[in-house]
Amino acid sequence: MTASFPPGFLWGAATAAYQIEGAAQEDGRTRSIWDTFSHTPGKVAGGDTGDIAVDHYHRFREDVRLMAELGLGAYRFSVSWPRVQPTGRGPAVQRGLDFYRALVDELLANGITPLLTLYHWDLPQELEAAGGWPERDTAYRFADYARLVAEALGDRVEMWTTLNEPWCSAFLGYGSGVHAPGRTDPLAALRAAHHLNLAHGLGAQALRGALPARARVAVSLNPGAVRPLTQSAEDRDAARRIDALATRVFTDPMLHGRYPADLFEDTAQITDWEFVRDFDLSVIKHPLDALGINYYTPTVVSAADDNEPPRRDGHGASAHSPWPGAERVAFHQPPGELTAMEWSVDPSGLYDLLMRFTREVPRVPLLITENGAAYEDKPDADGVVHDPERIAYVHAHLASVHRAIADGADVRGYFLWSFLDNFEWAYGYEKRFGSVHVDYTTQARTPKSSAQWYADVARSGVLPPP
């Protein structure tokens, strides 16, 4: 049976600046924390960096033409903070803004709606040297940056996202250290989480002040679809702890103007949260025009066995936990199909999240701002890249989205991660999430069979039978 999506549903794909742009030292761009991290031996697989990435900075017109040929109606991209405000302070560099002006103009000329993300993890290195996200001032620097970009692109872009996955910025960047800047301090991770929340609120205020009234402001989170291994009280408490750190540390302040009381209790041995000041929560709870949800796989947890070291989650190897106050929680890999990231394929987690936020904030529209999978994609003898596993993955997740819409979720769009194979953070170029294959030697782009399949769905708005 086919499934039709609502008229006006946005069909798009997503990318991030550091993962695709390259041109790391051109036109005034300075180093971000990911430049520093990737150039530090041992931090990224294969010693890879984003110096060249997939050279989108020079090939964006070719890439936009390919988007148009594949029928994409929308494109979610991020702006490189050190490209437009190199030190994280002061005036914008017009050469950097000119790149994004040209990109947006090319998108609009091809009938593609731009969705701009202000922050996808590339903090200017100068701000990290001043303390980074654990320092309150970084949130104010972000608001200034948001205003600069809004003033430059507000006449062209109507859909704006403040942050992408602040959980990763805070807890992988400052907790486990597997992401930039590579620090391993649980207190710094919690401070970073709050200041990212504050940056979202201040940034949203700055956007409202600089953008036309028609503009829409959102945030993209990666909430956890957290499940206890068993229904024992201990396993359910482990799931509660992880839900507080994975989801409610961001959604409760942003959507409800409060922090979870149980989060404060769980982390009391680390901090008394004195860094949360009067009126912060009223700033963080800024009205949203949409909530972006990034989803890849559910999280299954249990209470750790005291006789065994706790098993870590699927976010990279580290001796340090990204879960402050929940170090004795064990993570489990469910049985069944896995992606190349060794993440389980389970679209029911996406359905559960959509229905959860439909209940929590029924008046806030939802967007799937990232969903996709990495597989071992290689061209065949004729140069064709067949990826039936990705087609099956996306089909199953779109079916969950359609089911959620039928059950009352106000889902307005779906953005496939990712449009192009690219620099996959600490995994370097080992993992391929793209619907378009990139030969990293020649930079040649080849749409995979999933790209052609997704193009058919995007053009028709109809999900065919499996």
Return the active site residues: 165, 370
Contact 116, 123 (CB under 8 A): no
Reduce the DSSP state of residue 423 to 3 states and report it: coil
Beta strand 411-417 with 329-332 is: unpaired
Angle at 9 between CA 291 and CA 101, to 5 degrees: 70
Amino acid residing at 234? E
Q: Which residue's structure tokens are 């990826």?
A: 387
Residue 305 has what DSSP assignment?
Answer: P
d(CA 158, CA 300): 38
Contact 199, 138 (CB under 8 A): yes
DSSP string, 204-267: HHHHHHHS-TT-EEEEEE----EEESSSSHHHHHHHHHHHIIIIIHHHIIIIISS--HHHHHHT
- Please compute Rg for the chain using Cα positions: 21
Burial category of 348 from C-beta neighbours within 10 Å (exposed 0-12, middle 13-18, buried 19 and up): middle
Q: What are phi and psi of 89, to 5 degrees?
A: -145, 155
Q: Which residue's structure tokens are 């996955």?
A: 165
d(CA 217, CA 225): 24
